[in-house]
Structure 1
Amino acid sequence: MRHPFRRLAVSALTLAVAALPAGPALARPGHGAAALPAVHPRAETAPLTDDEAGGNADADDPAIWRNAAQPDRSLVVATAKEGGLRVYDLDARLVQSIAAPAGPTPDAAPGRFNNVDLVQGMKLGGHRADLAVTTDRGNDRLRVYRIDPAAPGGPLTDVTDPAAAPVFSAGQAEIDEQRTAYGLATWTDRATGRSYALVSRRERSTLALLELTATAAGRVGYREVRTLDLPSAFRLPDGTSWSPCAEPGELPQVEGMVVDPDNGVLYAGQEDVGIWRLRADLTGTPRLLDKVREYGVPGTYDESTEECVAGAGPGYGGTRLTADVEGLTLLQEDDGDGYLLASSQGDDTFAAYDRETGEGNEYEGGFRVTAASATLDGSEECDGAAVLNRPLGSRYPNGLLVVQDGHDTPGDGETAVTDFKFVDLGDVRDALDG
């Protein structure tokens, strides 16, 4: 998610960069981006606008569902926040639009779909079903949809258990404060066959492991297994303590997450901190595998401007990610290799890390998604991403990468205009291998 009030003021940030010692340096957005290879989208969805005329729709996070019987008819399921869900075909054309549910009262927060992920082959109503699971941040719940391209009315059908309780909140008053279900990754434990959703909490560092459960009526609910709090304050090499600058009362949240199904490892992007690696069952000790460039730079929140102003002092961040670190997705190769891909939102790039945890998830390179033509632009301020390394018919025989574009062009400069870009996965491989 883009946090304009968390962005370091550029002038103050420049002063902070000048004060840093030699070594890994804090960089302004855009630093080093030109050195990375570029890939170009093949298609884009229709723009979504965050205003009343556009239904308060704001593109956020995609997931790719492969139609095994007819790969050419595979689908992209994507969240549009208060605009609900959108389903697209491989030409990026709209197939189905699902409205976010309203709040329980007119004064309550409306539904707001934040992140989405898929579960394959869950037993439901005596049959195996593929599911799209999304976080409804507005109502602090998970919403679950069965995927069936032959279903009348559209490929997605709501199968959420109506008795599903809030994920984090004790009641509606707490829900309305919107410290609610936010980021999401699904995981099926191969040892037990049980399926889970890992959910983060907005403006908190909490992660929750929820087991997805099927009801006798063919609905899907969930139960909490355990929670874990990632650190919100960090001891720096100079002996001081540091927390990311934020609006008072907020803690550094997680949004982008993905689970490696081969080893049950969860990767979680704490937006203003970096990428964590931990067990998907939320046991054991998390490890910070890479940091954002801004890690360790002191900042003070200015209420009048709703910005964080950087102070002079050293930073201890990495060199590949510029806050926020956002959409995480896993490129799984057939030989067991592959990449963890992360959106470096602050400089409009994507970073790739080796999947091999024994090698420390080494950085393997990066790329940008840039304009293919005057009418097909690239991806900026990317919130969410999804990749699938499977042939998808004639359009994407090499697989597909879908990325959110947080600043679609052309726009009027005032209304938020967003969409999703479709990128041939072969082009991404070429960029990383080159």
Structure 2
Amino acid sequence: MNKLRFIFLLTLCITLIYGCGHEVDSVLRIKKALPQQVISLGAIEAEQMLPVQVGGEDYLLLASERRGLILINPFGEIIAAQEGRVERLAVQALSNKNLLVASYDEGQAQLNLHEIRPTEGERKLDFRLLGGQKMRTPQSALCFSHQEERTHLFTIGEEGIGYEYLLLPAQQQWRLQEMRPLYFGEQVNACAVNSKTQHLLVSQPPIGILSLNASAEKDEQRELVLSGQWIGEDFGNLWIDTQSESLWLTADDQVRRYSLSSLKEEPDWHLHIDESHTVNSPVLLNGQLFALDDGRDQLLIFDQVESDSLPHDPSVTATESDSSIVSIFARNQTEPVQSLGDAADDPAIWVNKSRPQNSLILATDKKSGLNVYDLSGKLLEHIPVGRVNNVDIRSIDHPLYSAVAAASNRSIPGVNLFAITLEGRIEHLGLRSIDLQDPYGLCLQKTDNRIFAWVSDKEAALHQFAIELGEIPSEFSLKAQAEVAVNSQVEGCVVDDERQTLFFAEEDLGIWSLDLVKQRSGESQPRLVAEVDGKTLVDDVEGLALYLTEDSGYLIASSQGNDSYALFTRDGNNFVGHFRVTVNMRLGIDGSSETDGLAVTSLNLGPEYPMGLLVVQDGRNRLPNAKQNFKLIDWYTVSEALGLSVFVKN
């Protein structure tokens, strides 16, 4: 019985393998598609194709090595052309509903910008050259990104080095301002930007499809989202359909469609193409699949594509869904610090009371020393005192000096003290060691004309030291006074001298408040006033500063996790609003991100800063990519953006 059963099963298997008629054969074989229509393009030799719309009409824009840029209608008829030898292109809609086209012209070795616009009473379309830039190497991928009303362009060369450019429109000649480099290996052949999540997708055979943040002010977060092992050996031709939120590409003999909300091993839809055609640049137009036949100068039109809705992941939302965070611009920026990597850290502002416009910014290069800048951001002096991390300033009553600045030093665990003369000259008074393993955060406190320093040990408590200047300031001393236990890392802190309140930021938990009067008598413990909630505050919480007026003010915190700044009432109890510092296109100053320390004053510092100055550390200095620095912001812009009611009283 078992033998008979084996023979039956073996016979069935042989029948299935070799076929038992047309019906079975048609089920087992992969059905390959032939185009419904083939249109000859007439020796164009198109390399890439994108669907576009101008004046409510649908067209296809081609990159041609023979003819340049060619605009055709869905029937293959040429509507407009721009001569050249174009290999790659990208398209972005303009605010006037015309089209912006970026293309790489191999003959010119140049990246060109064109506008497609109606002419002759809206009856015709043509290309208008907006600007161009010579490129060092041939370009293998171009794609646009629209960020906060700005147009950015990504270019990736054949050698695997890419750049992000900010496009600066102008009446005569548009400019491309380099923001940052991006590094890939060779073989990149296409890119596209998911406008909803602001992720740059890059096709790089045989590795796969890579994803990274399109915003230069965010961590790159490079990730392999589609492995080449899943896709095949020959893949590319990325195109994103924004209506269905889907990614289209070619892979070997297939056209594949993936949902952008859930990129996974198997596509949501695919089509095997008959071997008589080699498809390139698949796109949807009016529900039909259009593609180029690579090497045969043909436009292929396939049957109506399935219109079933793609799976939607409700957890995937636009990156700018936090629309309550308003954007402001910096007015100035400092020269970069001299050290590479994560080096700039914490600023403080010295106000020149006789000549406010000559005030100074003291800021730490935590790998080498203290920098001194003027209000234009020019570096006036670098004081090489070691790995100073945080700095703060307090005024003093002294015949020679207007203030002292203290900085926590991690080279030799201790505190450096600096004296600031009435004219603004900085004198280093020396360093005093302290019994802490790793002095980290620091802020000063003034009580009854005495100066105290609060210093955090990186993995331990906050410690208070009295700073005693004596008759000879360089012979100052530090005397331990008090200690406040904390559960995790603290760096940012600030003291409201008038109200005798210490605020400190436990980076992953939130902002604490401590009544210093009651603390001295042992009657007070820290109170959590602003908790990390992922919305108003996103960990890490770093710098803290106080914008103070005669009877009110604001507590400001750098919310490092989402590159924003949160404002609270002066006591820290109530959230007021938050903002980001974004690109100032007019002045060519990039935004700020991943901010560590910040400082603010409400005093009038002259015509540029009549309501005071906010200084923030910039963890990613772009436009172009450079060492870290500090951004200078007119407080008036903050007040206007958030609709604040507290103004300076002269």
TM-score, L = length of structure 1: 0.70
Are the counterparts in 2 of residues 33 and 368 from structure 1 also a CA contact under 8 Å?
no
1:190-247 superposed Cα distances (whole Å, 9 cap, x missing partner):
xx3211011111122x0001101013332222110011112x2xxxxxxxxxxxxxxx
User: Alignment partner of 2:628: what SS?
Assistant: strand
Partner in structure 1 of residue 232 of structure 2: none
Match among 574, 577, 595 for residue 365 of structure 1: 577
**Runs in 1 of length 4+ with deviation above 3 angstroms?**
26-34, 126-129, 280-283
Partner in structure 2 of residue 385 of structure 1: 598
Decide whether aligned partners of structure 1 residues 331 and 135 sit closer, same or farther in structure 2, where only a CA change above 3 A counts: same
Do residues 35 (structure 1) and 324 (structure 2) align? Answer: yes
User: Alignment partner of 2:529: what SS?
Assistant: strand
Match among 359, 378, 382 for residue 74 of structure 1: 359
Separation of aligned partners in 1, 2:614 and 2:319: 22
1:146-205 superposed Cα distances (whole Å, 9 cap, x missing partner):
112647xxx211113x6x23242xxxxxxxxxx41111110111xx3211011111122x
Question: 1:369 offset after TM fit, Å?
Answer: 0.9
Structure 2 residue identity aligned to 1:422: L
Decide whether aligned partners of structure 1 residues 217 and 421 sit closer, same or farther in structure 2, where only a CA change above 3 A counts: same
Separation of aligned partners in 1, 2:464 and 2:384: 26
Decide whether aligned partners of structure 1 residues 200 and 62 sit closer, same or farther in structure 2, where only a CA change above 3 A counts: same
Match among 525, 528, 533 for residue 285 of structure 1: 525
Separation of aligned partners in 1, 2:608 and 2:624: 28
Match among 389, 393, 413 for residue 118 of structure 1: 393
1:61-91 superposed Cα distances (whole Å, 9 cap, x missing partner):
1111110111111111111112211111111
Decide whether aligned partners of structure 1 residues 268 and 45 sit closer, same or farther in structure 2, where only a CA change above 3 A counts: same
Decide whether aligned partners of structure 1 residues 337 and 45 sit closer, same or farther in structure 2, where only a CA change above 3 A counts: same
1:129-150 superposed Cα distances (whole Å, 9 cap, x missing partner):
4111111122111101111264
Match among 175, 178, 182 for residue 440 of structure 2: 182
Structure 1 residue identity aligned to 2:379: L
Structure 2 residue identity aligned to 1:223: K
Partner in structure 1 of residue 433 of structure 2: 165
Separation of aligned partners in 2, 1:278 and 1:365: 23
1:337-362 superposed Cα distances (whole Å, 9 cap, x missing partner):
1110000001011111111x4xx621
Structure 2 residue identity aligned to 1:291: E
Match among 560, 565, 568 for residue 345 of structure 1: 560
Are the counterparts in 2 of residues 57 and 84 from structure 1 also a CA contact under 8 Å?
no
Match among 426, 446, 460 for residue 156 of structure 1: 426
Decide whether aligned partners of structure 1 residues 60 and 147 sit closer, same or farther in structure 2, where only a CA change above 3 A counts: same
Separation of aligned partners in 2, 1:158 and 1:30: 46
Are the counterparts in 1 of residues 324 and 578 from structure 2 also a CA contact under 8 Å?
no
Are the counterparts in 2 of residues 330 and 339 from structure 1 also a CA contact under 8 Å?
yes
Partner in structure 2 of residue 330 of structure 1: 546
Partner in structure 2 of residue 299 of structure 1: none
Are the counterparts in 2 of residues 48 and 57 from structure 1 also a CA contact under 8 Å?
no
Decide whether aligned partners of structure 1 residues 128 and 345 sit closer, same or farther in structure 2, where only a CA change above 3 A counts: same
Separation of aligned partners in 2, 1:128 and 1:407: 35
* Stretch moving more, 345-354 or 370-379: 370-379
Give ranges in structure 2 of 5+ residues lacking alignment. Answer: 1-218, 224-314, 645-650
Are the counterparts in 2 of residues 147 and 156 from structure 1 also a CA contact under 8 Å?
yes
Match among 636, 640, 644 for residue 426 of structure 1: 636
Question: 1:397 offset after TM fit, Å?
Answer: 1.6
User: Alignment partner of 1:159: what SS?
Assistant: strand
Partner in structure 2 of residue 228 of structure 1: 484
Decide whether aligned partners of structure 1 residues 27 and 98 sit closer, same or farther in structure 2, where only a CA change above 3 A counts: farther
Question: 1:326 offset after TM fit, Å?
Answer: 0.8
Do residues 200 (structure 1) and 456 (structure 2) align? Answer: yes
Separation of aligned partners in 1, 2:319 and 2:435: 37
Do residues 263 (structure 1) and 499 (structure 2) align? Answer: yes
Are the counterparts in 2 of residues 132 and 145 from structure 1 also a CA contact under 8 Å?
yes
Separation of aligned partners in 2, 1:33 and 1:96: 40
Identical residues among aligned pairs (%) = 35
Are the counterparts in 2 of residues 49 and 57 from structure 1 also a CA contact under 8 Å?
no
Question: 1:395 offset after TM fit, Å?
Answer: 2.3
Question: 1:95 offset after TM fit, Å?
Answer: 1.1
Structure 2 residue identity aligned to 1:35: S
User: Alignment partner of 2:473: what SS?
Assistant: coil
Are the counterparts in 2 of residues 272 and 324 from structure 1 also a CA contact under 8 Å?
yes
Structure 2 residue identity aligned to 1:366: H
Match among 206, 213, 219 for residue 468 of structure 2: 213
Separation of aligned partners in 2, 1:41 and 1:10: 29
Decide whether aligned partners of structure 1 residues 266 and 133 sit closer, same or farther in structure 2, where only a CA change above 3 A counts: same
TM-score, L = length of structure 2: 0.48
Structure 2 residue identity aligned to 1:193: N
Q: How does 1:76-115 map to 2 (within 5 A)?
A: 76-100=361-385, 111-115=386-390
Are the counterparts in 2 of residues 411 and 417 from structure 1 also a CA contact under 8 Å?
no
Are the counterparts in 1 of residues 566 and 579 from structure 2 also a CA contact under 8 Å?
yes
Question: 1:373 offset after TM fit, Å?
Answer: 1.5
Which protein has the larger Cα radius of gyration, Structure 1 or Structure 2? 2
Separation of aligned partners in 2, 1:27 and 1:10: 18
* Stretch moving more, 264-273 or 141-150: 141-150
Question: 1:425 offset after TM fit, Å?
Answer: 0.7
Separation of aligned partners in 1, 2:345 and 2:383: 15
Question: 1:31 offset after TM fit, Å?
Answer: 6.5
Are the counterparts in 2 of residues 33 and 349 from structure 1 also a CA contact under 8 Å?
no
Separation of aligned partners in 2, 1:58 and 1:27: 34
Decide whether aligned partners of structure 1 residues 396 and 43 sit closer, same or farther in structure 2, where only a CA change above 3 A counts: same
Decide whether aligned partners of structure 1 residues 347 and 70 sit closer, same or farther in structure 2, where only a CA change above 3 A counts: same
